[in-house]
Amino acid sequence: MKQAEQPGSVGEGLKQRGITRREFLKFCTAMTAMLALPPAMASVMAEAISKARRQSVIWLSFQECTGCTESITRSHSPTLENLIFDLISLDYHHTLQAASGAAAEHARELAMKGNEGKYLLIVDGSIPLGNPGYSTIAGISNYDMLLETARGAAAIVAVGTCATYGGLPKADPNPTGAVSVGDIIKDKPIINVPGCPPIPVVMTGVLAHFLTFGNIPELDALGRPKSFYGETIHDRCYRRPFYDQGKFAQTFDDEAARKGWCLFKLGCKGPVTYNACATTKWNDGTSFPIQSGHGCIGCSEPNFWDAGPLYKALSMPVSATAAMLGGAAAAGAAAGVAITWHNRSTKAAAKAAHEKVTVQELMREEK
């Protein structure tokens, strides 16, 4: 990316690109609404962003599938192009940068030096601790690169369930010893933006918040921004009324499924999944998994891969079987028979030991 030609502030850049103030305010209004901020904050946001220098961002990809990057390229408000050209200076990103090899690493080092303590570090993918050779970039292990790059970062945004909680690589039996960013970095503010992948506008929304306020949004106990992860999919689902009425699809292609009834019985994990899919939706607000007929798999929750079968209802046991109960009944019955035998032999022994006493004997004792 050609640093010299970039304008100093975001506002200048917008002007150069012919973006009117009205358009920019519209964007800021959408962002404030999405971040659940008061409407008056839109103009504050516009002011802050337009004055801000473009934020230097370093994006590191570790054990991941590039799904998070694929997702963010589908962001519609702001688009990734808007973000890169107007709001941030994306100084390093494997997939999106033109440079490769030593030149790419040089760009990362340059950005780190030039923005010491100010750049924003975005990480997707988990970090393998089992063996440094499991995942390397330019001969540097993921662990070393994370430590080195995190040192001068103002804050870290972990995107995707792999970076936030270990994700698929960490799923049992976790062959690479995968851990999350938060498991390694303890001395920097970390914003977790989980999801497999995360919703594009949630990723860009979090970046917009950081650019506007220079700080991290309010987070929940799992480090997620409350504005996006404050409520469960189930509570905001448009199919929720069917759940409450007891109307459920039994299979994916029955009449009830066609009518759009609740997918709880088909294994929907919406009740225990905190994310904004049901409200912001995907692909420019087009749809989300439940709307397209598939239950939520809970992809933004830690260890969701190991949280029981995806197609078993949440209220079903994870591993209990009828055979197991049969075995327990047989064992209980056997124990019951043993106790009965014990009771009866005690009774028989008491009967055998019983000595009869005659009236004469009692009368003799009285004398």
Partner 1 sequence: MNHLDLLTFARGSALNWALIIFVAGVALRLFEIFGLGRKADLARPRTDSPGSGWRTIVTRSLPPEGMLKREPVTYIGGFVFHIGLFVAIFFFAPHIEFFRSMTGLGWPSLSSALVDASVVAAIVALAVLLAHRLNHPVKRLLSTFGDYLAWTLALLPLLTGYMAYHHLMLEYTLMLAMHLFSVELLLALLPFTKLFHTFSVFISRWYNGDIFGRKGVAS
Q: How far apart are CA 143 and CA 184, in angstroms?
A: 8
Q: How far apart are CA 71 and CA 300, in angstroms?
A: 14
Min dist. Cβ of residue 229 to partner 1 (A):
12
Burial of 69 (0-12, 13-18, 19+ CB in 10 A): buried
Q: How far apart are CA 237 and CA 230, in angstroms?
A: 14
Residues 257-276 as x/- pattern, contact with partner 1 by CB under 8 A:
-------xx-----xx----
Nearer to partner 1, 138 or 316 (CB): 316
Min dist. Cβ of residue 334 to partner 1 (A):
9
Counting residues that bind partner 1 (by CB under 8 A) gives 47
Nearer to partner 1, 108 or 170 (CB): 170
Using N-to-C axis directions, what is the helix angle for 41-51 and 200-213, rounded to 10°?
A: 80
Nearest to 31 by CA among 74, 88, 89, 76: 76
Taking CB under 8 A as the criterion, the residue among 102, 322, 353, 362 binding partner 1 is 322
Strands 155-159 and 120-124 turn out to be parallel
Residues 290-319 as x/- pattern, contact with partner 1 by CB under 8 A:
--------x--xxxx-xxx---xxxxxxxx
Residues from 178 through 237 that contact partner 1 (CB under 8 A): 221-222, 232, 235
- Under the binding rule (CB under 8 A), the answer on residue 4 touching partner 1 is no
Taking CB under 8 A as the criterion, the residue among 36, 147, 333, 348 binding partner 1 is 333
Nearest to 262 by CA among 293, 287, 284, 227: 293
Nearer to partner 1, 40 or 323 (CB): 323
> In a 3-state reduction of DSSP, which class is residue 314?
coil
Min dist. Cβ of residue 198 to partner 1 (A):
17
Min dist. Cβ of residue 290 to partner 1 (A):
17
Q: Under a CB-based contact definition with an 8 Å cutoff, are residues 192 and 223 in contact?
A: yes
Q: How far apart are CA 232 and CA 248, in angstroms?
A: 19
> In a 3-state reduction of DSSP, which class is residue 209?
helix
Min dist. Cβ of residue 114 to partner 1 (A):
38
Min dist. Cβ of residue 262 to partner 1 (A):
9
- Under the binding rule (CB under 8 A), the answer on residue 350 touching partner 1 is no
177: number of Cβ within 10 Å: 15
Min dist. Cβ of residue 128 to partner 1 (A):
21
Q: How far apart are CA 300 and CA 274, in angstroms?
A: 7
Min dist. Cβ of residue 158 to partner 1 (A):
15
- Under the binding rule (CB under 8 A), the answer on residue 139 touching partner 1 is no
- Under the binding rule (CB under 8 A), the answer on residue 29 touching partner 1 is no
- Under the binding rule (CB under 8 A), the answer on residue 62 touching partner 1 is no
Q: How far apart are CA 69 and CA 200, in angstroms?
A: 9
Which of the ranges 1-9, 76-84, 252-260, 333-341 carries the binding residues for partner 1, by CB under 8 A?
A: 333-341
- Under the binding rule (CB under 8 A), the answer on residue 324 touching partner 1 is yes
53 Cβ neighbours under 8 A, 6+ residues apart:
8, 9, 10
Q: Under a CB-based contact definition with an 8 Å cutoff, are residues 238 and 64 in contact?
A: no
Please give the single-letter amino acid code of residue 56: S
Residues 227-246 as x/- pattern, contact with partner 1 by CB under 8 A:
-----x--x-------xxxx
Which residues of the shown chain bind partner 1 in the complex (CB under 8 A)? 221-222, 232, 235, 243-246, 248, 264-265, 271-272, 298, 301-304, 306-308, 312-320, 322, 324-325, 327-333, 335-337, 339-340, 343-344
